[in-house]
Structure 1
Amino acid sequence: MTQVRFMNWYLKIAIGSAIIGGGMEFFMINTSFYDKVTVLEAEKGAYENSPQSQAMREALNPWRNKDTEATKTP
């Protein structure tokens, strides 16, 4: 008897979560959220592969390759 009562509670939580998630997806599609994110991710990827970004990474961590060089030479 108590298992059925708890099962109803879990069913209500699952249905409520599905409704909330569907509402969020509907909002993101209507506001073209995914299109904006796709553009931002493409710009981020282009910047990360640029020479300026690589130079900045080297400047911020000049010891990054020191460990690999030390393990290569016996």
Structure 2
Amino acid sequence: MGEMKFLDWYLKIAAVSATIGASMELFMIKTDDKVTVLESEKRAWESSSEAQAIREALNPWRAQDAKSGKTS
């Protein structure tokens, strides 16, 4: 009898969890195209010569890292 006492509580938790999960999935489906475009633009910029120059300029220790064999 004690197990049946909490059945409605477990059903409410399951319903709320399913609703939250479904809304997260819907959000991911709706924003997938936008994220894909942003990621491809980011990859294209990171492979540009401008981005490479910025990376080299922001790492003043690159020569010492290369000598010691360290990776960042």
**TM-score when normalising by structure 2:** 0.66
Q: Which runs of 5+ in 2 are unaligned?
A: none
Give 1:19 deviation, angstroms: 1.3
Distance 1:4 1:59, change over 3 A: farther
* Percent identity for Structure 1 against Structure 2: 58
Give 1:69 deviation, angstroms: 0.9
The match for 1:51 is: 49
The match for 1:24 is: 24
The match for 1:64 is: 62
What do residues 38-74 of structure 1 show as CA deviations (whole Å, max 9, x unaligned)? 0000000111111100100110112134123135xxx
Q: Which runs of 5+ in 1 are unaligned?
A: none
**TM-score when normalising by structure 1:** 0.65
Calculate the aligned-residue CA RMSD, in Å.
2.9
